[in-house]
Amino acid sequence: MSKSFSLFDGFMIGGGIIVAGLLLQFTSGGVVWDALAWPANAIVLAVFIAIIIAIYLLGRKFDALRFLGTYKAAIPAMIYAVILTIIMGLTKQTVDGTWLNNMLAFWPLVLIYMYIAVILGIITIKHTIKFRWKRDIPFLLNHLGLFIALVAATLGNADMQRMKMITAVDQPEWRVMTNNNDIQELNIAIELKKFIMETYDDGSPKRFASKINIYTKSGKSFTATVDVNKPAEVDGWKIYQYGYDTQMGAMSNISILELVRDPWLPVVYTGIFMMIAGAVTLFFIGAGRRKKS
Amino acid sequence: MTWESFIYFAIVAVVLWATGAWAAWKDKKTIAYGTTIAGLLVFFGYIVAMWVSLERPPLRTMGETRLWYSLFLPLAGIIVYSRWRYKWILSFSTLMALVFIAINIFKPEIHSKTLMPALQSPWFAPHVIVYMMAYALLGASALMAIYLLFFKKKEPTEQEYEITDNLVYAGLAFLTIGMLFGALWAKEAWGHYWSWDPKETWAAITWLAYLVYVHYRLMPRHRKPIALATLIVAFVLLQVCWWGINYLPSAQGSSVHTYGTESTQ
């Protein structure tokens, strides 16, 4: 199939997408991710999946669309992604940077990864329709897993909340500071009971932790200890040890906590766990099987 | 156990591995297995002893991760040997392990006993050990590619391509799991599973580069030398991810993966 198409065509399509991205970047500036907050991201997701299904269905008629589900489209897409991500790895990235200094908002990079997601979607449909257990379980774990993780992480990012809360000993606190330094009030209050800092004999830090009481408007009340690497959880929030009064060190009477809520996390984790399972099948099956079939 | 005694364990292990490599050439399979595995046990014994005496897994500094790398190369070698009976693979893996052992003897990045809070996690050992295994397997695949492209006079055989593919598949499996374990750990440690930290960015680059190889090899009527060249490029990118990143201006001061001057992961 698609005999008339070659890798070169794949590179041309990818190149076209990058040029389109550059034009978008030039005319409208970088990608505004915050605009994707709920429910916009749900709508975008529905439209995105509808487009993928439409491409798949129309691919039966049009060679050019069917071509998107082939190696010759996928490989150039991955090579472009490698190159653009290398640029990202070689340039200093800042949140308020522009063009190459803020690659996450750089249209060509975003569009190429979107293009990869489209390809993943098309081949997922292809393999679901012509499903064969032994071939397609590993295939779908790898490809659909990546599709889910990639799409959910990207679209869900705007719904993620990260706040800092400065707690002082014995004073319940419910106000938090957003990344833009706005003050907000939460439905949870946290009271610091004790900040714990331990050091090794040479003075290097061994442990930072906060013993806290957590109260929620829904009526919960309990004690927890938040360590680095051991966040506490309440009502969809994860509470992390973030900082303390460095002047006071172990005597610090305050502890800075970070509160994170990410409603899309279960979806992203579904994708991640599928990919881990897929990697295990990759290890056991190896390259041999596909060559034979 | 200290680094002073490393050289003795290393010499014994290398002698055993070299004996195994020689035996493989001579088709003495039992000796090849016996000595290689004995060498692995000696070397692993040293790592375990270090683990006990440091009171933490020896995974933090470059020197410590090189220990695992030196262990996994002969381990990958003996696995490949057992599956495909490749005579020279043990010589290669021994030589590579020797290189990393020599670096550790002549340029030991000495290591304090402390483990900072950020690294105290059940994810620490699996994340780094799985990555080291991936690096060893993918390193072996890069050596295969270099050998087949530049040193082998005759046309490479199908079996040689198959071995290269198998090394990459196994390596990619470990690379994927290492990366995703890292994501799960990052969520617990830093509040987010993927923050495009420079280390994460380069991990994504490396991962994608190996995906290019795997897919290109599956494409009908591809050119095999190009596939092999891809492996060499991918391995260079992997080096940037592993240690090159410490020298990249773009990553200075912005990577949470840098733990003091001696960094790992």
Give the sign of the dihedral formed by CA B76, CA B80, CA B81, CA B83: positive
CB B40 within 8 A of CB B5: no
Residues 6+ apart with CB under 8 A from A169: A192, A193, A194, A195, A253, A254
The answer on pLDDT for B124 being more than 70 is yes
Burial letters for B108-129: b for 16+ Cβ neighbours within 10 Å, e otherwise? ebebeebbbbbbbbebbebbbb
Count of alpha carbons within 13 angstroms of residue A13, beta-carbon side: 24
Q: What is the CATH number of the domain that holds A165?
A: 2.60.98.10
Tell me which residue range forms the domain holding A208.
161-261
Concatenating the DSSP letter of every residue in A122-164 gives: HHHHHHHHT--HHHHHHHHHHHHHHHHHHHHHHHHGGG-EEEE
CB A113 within 8 A of CB A150: yes
Q: In this structure, are A167 and A254 located in the same domain?
A: yes
Closest CA to B76 of B201, B195, B168: B168
Query: What local confidence, expressed as pLDDT, does residue B184 receive?
Result: 97
Q: Which of B197, B218, B245, B257 to mutate to test the interface with A (most CBs of A within 10 A)?
A: B218
Give the sign of the dihedral formed by CA B173, CA B174, CA B175, CA B181: positive
Query: What local confidence, expressed as pLDDT, does residue B263 receive?
Result: 36
- What are the tokens at A175? 């106000």
pTM of the model: 0.90
Q: In this structure, are A62 and A110 located in the same domain?
A: yes
Q: In this structure, are A21 and A151 located in the same domain?
A: yes
Q: In this structure, are A67 and A194 located in the same domain?
A: no
Q: What is residue B155's DSSP assignment?
A: P
Domain membership of residue A2 (yes or no) is no
Q: Which of the four pLDDT bands, split at 50, 70 and 90, describes residue B110? A: low
Domain membership of residue A18 (yes or no) is yes
Residues 180-199 of B with CB under 8 A from A: 180, 183-184, 187-194, 196, 198
* Helices and strands, number each (H, E), in chain B: 8, 0
Report in angstroms the alpha-carbon separations of A3 from A7, A10, A72, B202: 11, 13, 11, 35
Domain membership of residue A143 (yes or no) is yes
Q: In this structure, are A31 and A78 located in the same domain?
A: yes
CB-based contact, B169 to chain A, within 8 Å = yes
pLDDT, mean over chain B: 90
Q: In this structure, are A117 and A69 located in the same domain?
A: yes
Residues of chain B found within 8 Å of residue A155, distances taken between Cβ atoms: none
Average pLDDT value for residue range B79-96: 86
Give the sign of the dihedral formed by CA A59, CA A64, CA A65, CA A67: positive
Dihedral of CA atoms A260, A264, A266, A270 in degrees, nearest 10, equals -130
Q: In this structure, are A105 and A182 located in the same domain?
A: no
Tell which wins on pLDDT, B42 or B83: B42
Q: Is B250 in Cβ contact with A90 (below 8 Å)?
A: yes
Instruction: Provide the 10 A C-beta neighbour count for residue B234.
Output: 26
CB A211 within 8 A of CB A194: yes
**Could you read off the pLDDT tens digit of each residue along chain A, which spans 293 residues?**
445 799 999 999 999 999 999 999 999 999 999 999 999 999 999 999 999 999 999 999 999 999 999 999 999 999 999 999 999 999 999 988 889 999 999 999 999 999 999 999 999 999 999 999 888 999 999 999 999 999 999 999 999 999 999 999 999 999 999 988 899 999 999 999 999 999 988 888 899 999 999 999 999 999 999 999 999 999 999 999 999 998 888 899 999 999 999 999 999 999 999 999 999 999 888 765 554 43
Q: Is B172 in Cβ contact with A92 (below 8 Å)?
A: no
Query: What local confidence, expressed as pLDDT, does residue A238 receive?
Result: 97
Q: Which of B61, B116, B123, B179 to mutate to test the interface with A (most CBs of A within 10 A)?
A: B116
Residues 220-239 of B with CB under 8 A from A: 220, 237
Q: Which of B17-21, B207-211, B249-253 comes out lowest in average pLDDT?
A: B249-253
The answer on pLDDT for B134 being more than 70 is yes
Q: In this structure, are A123 and A228 located in the same domain?
A: no
Question: ∠B96-B100-B104 over CA atoms, to 5°?
Answer: 160
Concatenating the DSSP letter of every residue in B26-56 gives: TT-HHHHHHHHHHHHHHHHHHHHHHHHHHTS
Q: In this structure, are A272 and A210 located in the same domain?
A: no
Q: For chain B, give the percent of residues with pLDDT over 70.
A: 94
**ipTM of this complex:** 0.95
Number of domain units in chain A: 2
The answer on pLDDT for B255 being more than 80 is no
**CA-only gyration radius of chain B, Å:** 19
How far apart are alpha carbons A28 and A93 in whole angstroms? 20
CA distance, residue B117 to nearest chain A CA (Å): 5
- For A287, which of B166, B204, B254 is closest by C-beta distance? B166
Q: In this structure, are A181 and A143 located in the same domain?
A: no
Q: In this structure, are A208 and A271 located in the same domain?
A: no
How far apart are alpha carbons A257 and A211 in whole angstroms? 11
Q: In this structure, are A176 and A138 located in the same domain?
A: no
